[in-house]
Amino acid sequence: MENWYFQTGEASDVVVSTRVRLARNLRSIPFLIKESKEDAKKLYEKVKEVLPSVGYGLKLLKLEDIDEVTLLSLIEKHLITPDFVKKNYPYAAIAINDEENLCLMINEEDHIKIQVFSAGLALEEAANLAIDVDEKLNQLLDYACDEQFGYLTSNPNHVGTGMKASIMVHLPGLQKTGNLNPMLRVINNFGMSVQGAYGEGSEIRDDFYQISNIQSLGITEKSIIKNMKAIAERIIEQERTARKYLVKKDYDLENRIYRSYGIFLYAKRMTSEEASKLLSEIKLGVDLGILDELTDAQIRKLQINLRSGNLQKFLGERLDARQREAKRPEVIQKIRNEK
């Protein structure tokens, strides 16, 4: 079975992916701000001991044992955060399955972050899996939990359920019709945050946005998922309406899409940023049925494998920035010619 990030799911034309994350800490170990190296080791050993009982084929890997290219690849697939790698926490580790739709970050901002990923809009499914893993861990570990406030976390904003539900959306229609800012205001009014593709502080580019719940305290997990699904459905409706308007009114749309495809196909050198920008336009063309030279599956593979770390993993070579620019067209042709 293909990894989740190569698949398409419900409403994949607008909602690229879904992630549900649960932040948990152990009562018996100080939180990160006061955690010593010995405490971090103790947590790592506890997780190592109980992990086989959780199931799902999870494998425990220390970040220090993972090479730089693979770490970059994991960041590009949104499985770990850039800060997790940058801050070099002691005994930082991940527990991950072969499909990579389940990834636990150990000794990150919190002791344990349970993460479930899915292609398309799949909030209930992702939440159910995250909660199942959480319940199994809860039977084996002593969570820090308060009767009044719920699960205690390093970030006060996550106290309560400790749940952060996110969707990654592609909104070129709203952007091109000038309706993006009104839609973003609606999202904010729903108590959601809008960020770049790599989370807080990351740049918003190429019409991809990450939308997440802000409230975690005084609300149930079911309510978080219900609210997120409601806003997702509103976004899908508005983005599809905007795209229909573009097809009718933007007489240069087809020309721009094919120009982007032409550059994408025949350029001899290409940066990661240029590839991402062109793919955003090409994805719109494929989703609208204007461009049939590529499939949804090929778009997904290109979006992953043209990024710097995954490009090197795909080719099995260590490459510097200039070499990657020269090799990117080669990867484009390989994926384009796949049957």
Tell me: pLDDT of 206 over 80.
Answer: no
Full-prediction pTM beyond 0.85? Answer: yes
Sheet (strand 102-106) strand order: 59-62, 93-96, 102-106, 112-119, 15-24, 163-170, 208-213, 192-195
Fold of 4-241: Creatine Kinase; Chain A, domain 2 (3.30.590)
Among 35-49, 199-213, 234-248, 284-298, which is the least confidently predicted range? 199-213
In one-letter notation, the amino acid at residue 78 is H
Of 35-44, 192-201, 225-234, highest mean pLDDT: 225-234
Q: What is the mean pLDDT of the chain?
A: 91
Confidence of residue 205 (pLDDT cuts 50, 70, 90): low
Q: Position of tokens 């400790």?
A: 162
* Predicted confidence (pLDDT) per residue in 30-88, tens digit: 887 787 888 889 999 999 999 999 999 999 999 999 999 999 999 999 999 999 998 87
Tokens at residue 252, please?
Answer: 């240069």
* Predicted confidence (pLDDT) per residue in 267-313, tens digit: 999 999 999 999 999 999 999 999 999 999 999 999 999 999 999 99
Tokens at residue 49, please?
Answer: 């001991």
Dihedral of the CA atoms 236, 241, 246, 247 (nearest 10)? 100
End-to-end CA distance of the chain: 17
Annotated domain spans of the chain: 4-241, 253-336
Q: Distance of alpha carbon 37 from its chain centroid, rounded?
A: 29
Coil, strand, or helix at residue 61?
strand
Among 123-132, 158-167, 235-244, which is the least confidently predicted range? 158-167
pLDDT at 203: 55
